[in-house]
């Protein structure tokens, strides 16, 4: 429990001339909402965190989400303390500055904005402190030397296919708020628009109120790729069910509302450009003995390097168009490390043990990827996955009791 919220509550009580109610007559805002090991989370902290989530326009700004976040942060701070990790005043200020910079604000301006939105500065400070402390725990536990990424992992990531993305069909209403009068009108309309749950009602509101050309189509706009939207807006839209409308989203001089119509997938934009594969040629064709030998090889190796230890294998990396069609067709059925024994050569007298080593999706004219940066990204991703698992372990082993 921080000192600032206590002072705030005392000041309010004195200002309003009211007495603090006893537990018998009312629930104090500083009564426990949860016990995490030896620490307490108060109702005031939960209220404040929920309000901060609302101000941040988090996808889930419910009271339960606020409480879950606070429980995790208590566990993170407990683990940091167990390891002797502390957050210095300088690190605290730098953490707050880093977070404020994401909104293109100074630390002081960001905190002032939070206060004007009803968030006590101590709530933000506690949030940042937990984040900085946990980052130091993760660096200690899963930092350099603790997580490994092989050269093969980096090479495969460099050649990986583009992942399919998501796209959405939405209707929009953009309310002008470029003057105090229009801003007041927009705020007054906001609850009504956010409560709309039918396409017809939203279209009618768009035609009446929206300030964009899409108003003529009832606010309907064409497919939008989520990756092209600001992350915050994209996440808000993805959290909707078809027909639902976002809460008002502040834009410069405007308030925006989006109604979800449909979510679709954006297919990967290209197929593989080159294939790396290896072939081991066994005399005897499709005889029983040769097929048994091939089965033994397939059971013992799962990489092209391993296949090459089984005999003189031919290994090639070729553009897809230059690979013999029967070989390309077999490779299309395989994942890297898998083997096919469907092909023969020399009029059926030689069995081909064919293995796919790798597919590359890099365009032939693409610049070479920055392998160092890619390795760092993989290290960070794996460290993050392990940190999430570690936090789950801490939660499973903790004593957590809700009031």
Residue of 348 and 155 predicted with greater confidence? 348
pTM recorded for the entire structure: 0.48
**Tokens 């992350």 — which residue?**
231
Measured distance CA(293)–CA(289) in Å, rounded: 6
> What is the bridge-based pairing of β-strands 254-266 and 274-283?
unpaired
The answer to whether the beta carbons of residues 257 and 189 sit under 8 Å apart is: no
- Helix-helix angle 151-158:371-397, to 10 degrees: 110
Backbone angles phi, psi at 256, to 5 degrees: -115, 145
Q: What confidence score (pLDDT) does residue 267 get?
A: 59
Mean pLDDT of 225-236: 76
The answer to whether the beta carbons of residues 67 and 32 sit under 8 Å apart is: no
Instruction: Give the Å distances, CA to CA, from 301 to 65, 115, 355, 356, 375.
Output: 48, 63, 10, 12, 26
Question: Which token pair is 100?
Answer: 């404020």
For 190-203, the pLDDT digits (tens) are 999 999 988 999 99
The C-alpha torsion from 148 through 149 and 152 to 158, rounded to 10°, is 180
Q: What confidence score (pLDDT) does residue 304 get?
A: 95
For 118-145, the pLDDT digits (tens) are 999 999 999 999 999 998 998 888 866 6
For 52-76, the pLDDT digits (tens) are 988 887 767 889 999 999 999 999 9
The answer to whether the beta carbons of residues 307 and 278 sit under 8 Å apart is: yes
Q: Is 393 helix (H, G, I), strand (E, B) or coil?
A: helix
Q: Give the CA radius of gyration of the chain.
A: 30
Domains with residue ranges and CATH for the chain: 3-145 (1.10.4030.10), 165-266 (3.10.50.40), 274-360 (3.10.50)
The C-alpha torsion from 78 through 82 and 84 to 85, rounded to 10°, is -30
């Amino acid at each position: 429990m921080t000192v600032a919220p206590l002072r705030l509550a005392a000041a309010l009580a004195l200002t309003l001339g009211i007495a603090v109610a006893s537990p018998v007559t009312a629930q104090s805002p500083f009564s426990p909402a949860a016990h995490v090991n030896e620490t307490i989370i108060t109702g005031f902290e939960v209220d404040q965190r929920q309000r901060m989530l609302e101000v941040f326009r988090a996808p889930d700004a419910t009271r339960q989400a606020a409480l879950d976040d606070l429980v995790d942060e208590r566990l993170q701070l407990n683990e940091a303390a167990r390891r002797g990790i502390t957050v210095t005043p300088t690190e605290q200020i730098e953490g707050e500055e880093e977070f404020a910079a994401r909104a293109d604000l100074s630390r002081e301006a960001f905190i002032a904005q939070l206060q004007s939105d009803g968030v006590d500065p101590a709530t933000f400070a506690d949030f940042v402190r937990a984040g900085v402390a946990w980052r130091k725990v993760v660096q200690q536990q899963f930092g350099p030397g603790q997580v490994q990424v092989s050269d093969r992992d980096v090479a495969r990531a460099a050649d990986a296919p583009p992942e399919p993305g998501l796209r959405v069909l939405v209707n929009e209403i953009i309310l002008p708020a470029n003057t105090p009068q229009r801003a007041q009108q927009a705020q007054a309309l906001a609850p009504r628009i956010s409560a709309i749950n039918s396409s017809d009602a939203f279209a009618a509101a768009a035609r009446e109120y929206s300030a964009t050309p899409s108003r003529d189509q009832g606010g309907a706009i064409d497919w939008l790729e989520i990756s092209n939207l600001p992350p915050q807006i994209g996440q808000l839209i993805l959290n909707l069910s078809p027909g639902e409308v976002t809460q008002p989203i502040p834009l410069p001089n405007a308030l925006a509302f989006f109604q979800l119509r449909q979510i679709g997938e954006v297919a990967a934009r290209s197929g593989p450009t080159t294939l790396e594969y290896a072939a081991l040629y066994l005399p005897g064709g499709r005889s029983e003995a040769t097929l048994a030998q091939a089965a033994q090889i397939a059971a013992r190796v799962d990489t092209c390097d391993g296949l090459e230890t089984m005999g003189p294998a031919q290994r090639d990396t070729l553009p897809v168009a230059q690979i013999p069609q029967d070989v390309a067709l077999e490779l299309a059925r395989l994942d890297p490390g898998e083997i096919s024994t469907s092909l023969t050569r020399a009029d059926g007298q030689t069995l081909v043990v064919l293995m796919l080593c790798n597919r590359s999706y890099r365009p032939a004219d693409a610049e070479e990827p920055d392998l160092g940066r890619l390795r760092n990204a993989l290290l960070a991703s794996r460290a993050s996955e392990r940190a999430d698992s570690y936090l789950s372990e801490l939660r499973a082993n903790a004593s957590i009791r809700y009031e």
